[in-house]
Every structure is written in structure tokens, then in C-alpha cells.
Amino acid sequence: MKRAKVEVEGYLHNVSEILEGADHHKYFTALIQEAERNSRVVVFDLQRHNVFRSAEKDRTPVRLCNVDLSPSRQRSGEVDVIMNTASLLRCVRQLNFVFDESSRDVVKDVTVQHILQEGREYQRVNVTIKVLQLAEDRPGVTRSHQKMSRRSYDVADQTRSVSLTVWGGDGLQVGKWYRLTNISIRKFGGCTCLSTTAQSTITIVPDVSCTVAQIMENFDRKEGEIVTADVKVDYLCPRQHPLSSVNLATSLTRCQQCDAFCHTSRVVSVLRGILTIEESSGRMNNFVLDDFLLRKLLNVPSGSTPDPDVLVLRLLGEGSTRLHLKFRGQHVLDVAFVADVNTASSSSVPQSTECSASLSNMSECTATTDDMMLEEFFAEVQTEESANLDVEEKNEGCVEKQEGSNTSEGSVGKLMQERREVVVGVVAECRKGIQKGVKGKSKK
């Protein structure tokens, strides 16, 4: 059904800068002061931005023609005025009410409890909070394709706690109080969060209270086995526009949105993992891991372009692979592999067997070494005794040469036999001691 076009008359206030939505459409907003109410205006015709600015500055009464009315996303029970290229802005000579300075869009100061109970998504609020802890710190990309840091904090006041996402700028100090203005209320997976915008301001303030509400977990956890996995690689131009096709072998790549070429070496690869996790109850859950988490999980260097099939093999592994995920709605906050207890216990058995085998080998090597040392000792004794007998033979001189020779040979043979028996006895005793030691270690 085609919506009827209407006309709205009044004065313009709060003309914003040019913004960009999630669908990459650019727009700007304003507030129009009517006779009985104030309405938010969303303008998609960017060429009228300067005209709106001038009308606000000069306090010119205007009439907006051929506009649509849409339920407001920020104010309950109110409507937004939608202008497009077919709408018209006309100046009128006079209205039956005057320009009211107080009609400007005033952002209200609220508490965290009010935000959680009555806050509408995309509503702008002011709040004073204390930073309790840093929950997440990672790079991010805004709707306008700008790279900047994205930090998530757990914050609270005296009433409740909530999650706050801060885009860009310096990090907040844990334990300090801050006043946040023009903060946007967002909802993810049924959980209410806060996020800074381009118009937000953050100011450190003195401590408001000694006690605040405790941190309330606004995320879920699941653990299960990976049953299916796939990895996709998306490519972005240097201005973060998605590229439909990229040939890495060429030197230049064309971006349709930029309507220009860029060096292929400047093209950015973004990984995306699609997983199906089976819980112990048999329930299946699908999750998507973004580039940051997938590279962190598989230890893939930032900026590299790995083979997706290799990453899938690493995700599935040779056997069952389990994951522990922390998520909010469809957004995964953290992921990690879970060690398999059975695998860990079974791996300890071969280790002990290997240790016993090593002890046995060491014992055998010790026995062999002892035998070699005893044999060398026996050879040295034999050589020494022969030398001593030769010296005695020369010193005696009164015995005939033949008789002395026979006597020497007999004496040497007798001494060698005695020494051999002694050495054999020592060797036998050493081997008995070594065998007892090996049996004792194997029992342990």
C-alpha cells in the first residue's frame, strides 16, 4: 500500500552532519518545531544539507512537502518525517507561532536502570557511570568504513550495570567515573548495551559514589563439538569497500564503489568461519567467527591470506574438536579450543612406557660400560705383571737362560690365571648389582 504524502510546517533545529547508515546510505537529520509538537526529520537528499543549515541559522519558517511519516525509532509514540529526492522544501512568509529556542532536541540525563527498563534502541541519552573492567579490545570498522579501535567495558552506576562500546579515542581508566553524552542505546540478542557515536563526548568526573552495582553478565556460553566447518575469504579495497572478484596474480584491482583501481597488494583479506557446534544434549548451534576471532583461534598472522581449506582442516582436526564460545545474540565475543581429557590421559601412558624403556636402556648401557672397564683393567694388570717379571729375571743373573725362560713363562701363566679369577668374580658381583637395580626401577 502506497503511503500518502503530507506537508509539515515549522522551524528547523539541530541539523546534523552527514551520516552513513548500516546499508551504506548517507543521510542527515534535523528537528522541526511544529505548532504543537517537535518531530525528527531524516533527509536522504544530501544536496539540501546547506539549505537546512541556512534555514536553521536564519530561523526561517519552512514547509516540507511530499514527505513520509514513519514511526520513530528513538521516541515512543512519535513519528519521524522522511524526506527524499521527490520531497520539497519551501520557505513561507509567516507562521502563527514563533521560533522557540527551547525546542531544540535536548538529550536527557538518565540512570542505567532507566536505560535497561525503558530505553528504546537508537535513543540518545546522557549517563554518568563508573568503569569496572575492560571486557574486549579489538580493531573495528564503522558504518562509514573507517578503521578504528573498538573497546568494550563493563560499567555501572548506583542502580545497575551495562556494557559500553567505545569507538576510537583513548581508552577509559578502570575505576574512574565518566560523564557520557549523546550515547546511543543498542540491543543485541535481547541484551541492552550502550555505544558511542560521532556526536558523543566522554568527560572524566570526580567520584559520584563509593558503591556501584555489580557486573551483570549479559552474554551466554556454549561448549560443543565441531561437526561442520567452512572458511570464506572476503576482499576489501583500501577504503574498506567489498570487492566482488579479486585476482591476486594481477598488479591492479578495480573497486566498483570507488570507481577506481588500486594496487592488489593493498587489498585486504577478511576471513569468516561458519561453524556448527553440537552440544552434549545433541542440539546443533550455528556460529559465525569474524576475522579477528578466527585468526586468534588458529594463530593466523594478521594481514596474511591463508588457504581456506587448510584452515578448515585445522578446525576439524584429525578427530573430534571441541570449542567453548562466549556470545551475545548472534555476535561471538570469544572462542577457544577445549582440551580432550581422554586424549590427555591416554597420551600419558606411552610417556611412562617410554620412560621405563629409557631406564632399561640406560641400565644396559651401564652394564656394558662396566664390562668394558673391567676388561681394560684385566689387560692392564696382565701387561704390568709381565713387565715386572722381566725386570726380576734380568736382576737375578745366576739362573740359566733356558731355565729362567721356562720359569718366567710358568710364573706368568700362574699369575694370569689368578688375576683372571679375581676379575671374573668382580664382574659377576657387578652384574648382580645392576640386575637388582633394574628390577627395582621396573617395579616402581
Determine the pLDDT at residue 317.
82
**pLDDT of 328:** 79
Residues 232 and 333 occupy one common structural domain: yes
Residues facing 270 on adjacent strands: 234
User: If you write DSSP's letter for every residue of 12-53 in order, what string do you get?
Assistant: EE-----EE-TTS-EEEEEEEE-SS-EEEEEE--GGGHHHHH
Query: Three cell numbers at 403?
Result: 731355565
Of the three residues 310, 338, 366, the one that is the final residue of a domain is: 338
Tell me the C-alpha to C-alpha distance, in Å, between residue 226 and each of 293, 307, 322, 337.
Answer: 16, 20, 6, 10
* φ, ψ at 343 (rounded to 5°): -65, -40
CATH number of 64's domain: 2.40.50.140
Question: Which cell is 188 given?
Answer: 543485541
pLDDT value at position 358?
Answer: 42
Helices (H) and strands (E) in the chain, counts: 6, 21
The residue with cell 580493531 is 139
Q: Are residues 118 and 34 in the same domain?
A: no
Sign of CA dihedral 208, 183, 124, 195: negative
In a domain, 215, yes or no: no
16 and 79 inside one domain? yes
- Same structural domain, 308 and 326: yes
- Shared-domain flag, residues 388 and 292: no
Distance from C-alpha of 182 to C-alpha of 40, rounded to nearest angstrom: 16
- What is the C-alpha separation between 163 and 155, in angstroms, rounded? 6
Cell numbers placing 104: 531544540
Domain count, the chain: 4
Look up the domain containing 65 and give its range.
6-103
DSSP 53-88: HHHHHHT--EEEEEEEEEE-SSSTT-EEEEE-TT-E
In a shared domain, residues 298 and 229: yes
Task: Judge whether 128 lies within some domain.
Answer: yes
Q: Is residue 352 part of a domain?
A: no
Examine residue 213 and state whether it is found in any structural domain, yes or no: no
- The sign of the dihedral angle between the CA atoms of 21, 22, 24, 25 is negative
Burial 281-295 (b: 16+ CB within 10 A, else e): eeeeeebebbbbbbb
User: Domain ends where: 103, 123, 143?
Assistant: 103
pLDDT value for 93: 86
The reported pLDDT for the residue numbered 401 is 44
Residue 211 inside a domain? The answer is no
Question: 84 lies in a domain?
Answer: yes
Question: 233 with 281, same domain?
Answer: yes
Domain boundary among the residues 79, 103, 127 is at 103
Question: Is residue 319 domain-resident?
Answer: yes
- Give me the pLDDT at residue 329, please: 76
Residue with cell 570498522: 141
**41 and 90 co-located in one domain:** yes
Say if residue 164 is in the same domain as residue 236. no
Examine residue 385 and state whether it is found in any structural domain, yes or no.
Answer: yes
Q: Same domain for 327 and 419?
A: no
Residues 301 and 196 in one domain: no
Based on the fold, state whether residues 165 and 251 are members of the same structural domain. no
Tens-level pLDDT at each residue, the chain (444 residues)? 445 578 999 999 989 888 877 666 889 999 999 988 888 899 999 999 999 999 999 999 999 999 998 888 777 678 889 999 899 999 998 888 988 887 776 788 999 999 999 888 888 899 999 999 998 888 887 777 778 899 999 999 999 999 999 998 888 999 999 999 999 999 877 789 999 988 899 999 999 998 899 888 778 889 999 999 999 999 999 888 889 889 989 999 999 988 999 999 999 999 999 999 999 999 999 999 999 999 999 999 988 888 999 999 999 886 778 999 988 777 888 899 987 655 444 444 444 444 344 434 444 444 444 445 444 544 554 555 455 545 444 444 444 444 444 444 455 455 556 656 655 565 566 556 655 554 454 444
Closest CA to 359 of 443, 441, 444: 441
The β-bridge relationship of strands 191-195 and 161-167 is parallel
